């Protein structure tokens, strides 16, 4: 499979309790396989790739972005995230 044909699709419906991730990229397939073993997910072969079902309660995805926040707002957000105690996975 050429690099142009490799893909990763990450999705979750509002009423689902898991993230669904489809990957044909060998690097990201290994990454999500290890993550699935760590958080108790499932893996199924699907259309030439792998489909992963990872519990939403164990993951939080965020896009990298730069926010211009005041120190007080940064502190409030830091406290809120630390209270949640859920690992943060960053998608580029």
Domains identified in the chain, total number:
1
The pLDDT of residue 73? 93
Looking up tokens 């690097």 gives 27
Query: Is residue 91 a contact partner of residue 63, using CB atoms and an 8 Å limit?
Result: yes
**Which tokens hold the place of 50?**
């792998």
- What is the extent of the structural domain holding 30? 3-91
pLDDT tens string 41-85 = 999 988 888 999 999 888 877 777 788 889 999 999 889 888 876
Alpha-carbon torsion (37, 27, 48, 15), positive or negative: positive
**pTM (predicted TM-score):** 0.61
The answer, yes or no, to whether residue 92 has pLDDT greater than 60, is: no
């Amino acid at each position: 499979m050429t690099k142009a044909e490799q893909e990763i699709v990450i999705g979750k419906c509002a009423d689902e309790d898991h993230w669904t991730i489809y990957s044909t990229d060998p690097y990201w397939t290994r990454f999500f396989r290890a993550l699935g073993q760590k958080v108790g997910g499932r893996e199924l072969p699907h259309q030439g790739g792998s489909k992963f079902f990872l519990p939403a309660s164990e993951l939080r995805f965020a896009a990298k972005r730069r926010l211009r926040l005041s120190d007080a707002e940064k502190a409030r957000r830091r406290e809120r995230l630390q209270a949640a105690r859920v690992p943060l996975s960053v998608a580029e």
